[in-house]
Amino acid sequence: MNKLRNRFSSLNEKTERVKEKEHRIWAEVGKLGFALTLLDVIIRGLLLDEPFKEWSGSLAVFFIITFYYCIRALIAGVLLPKIDSEEKKRKRVKEQLIESIAAALIITWFTMYHIGFPHTFTGWFKFLLLCLLCGAVLFLIRYIIVILLFKRSNKRS
């Protein structure tokens, strides 16, 4: 990554102050790109009601930037604090379970609102299954992250 950054850089021999300024500029460029893709999705997708093909590229870039940020923040330990005891781990797992259930309910509600409320038992069963599946997948991902953070914190201690 540093080699790529050095190719875009105008100065090869830099002081720490110059490197920090350049790092801030690259961060601002990333924020600007993120904001522009989000703005494009909002304007073309929601306000102008354009077809999905017109704004899907911006949506893909938006999700890629978001995914990359989350992965980098998790690796750096910024997104979730250090978990150094079994009690903190249990508390964090409980929080993640509650947040996963809430997110699954919101996803199910938005899906119901978009598709329409079901009128048969099978339709309601599909939405219940969707809620359970979304909750389970979200919780599984979050649980793995908590366990990895716990192991990494205990490895350092």
Those residues whose C-beta lies under 8 Å from the C-beta of residue 135, and which sit 6 or more positions away, are: 100, 101, 103, 104, 105
0.75 cut: is pTM over it? no
Strands (E), the chain: none
Residues 4 and 73 in one domain: yes
How many domains does the chain contain in total?
2
pLDDT tens sequence across 64-107: 888 888 777 777 767 666 777 888 888 888 988 898 899 888 88
Q: Domain of residue 1: give its range.
A: 1-79
pLDDT at 58: 83
Residues 39 and 105 in one domain: no
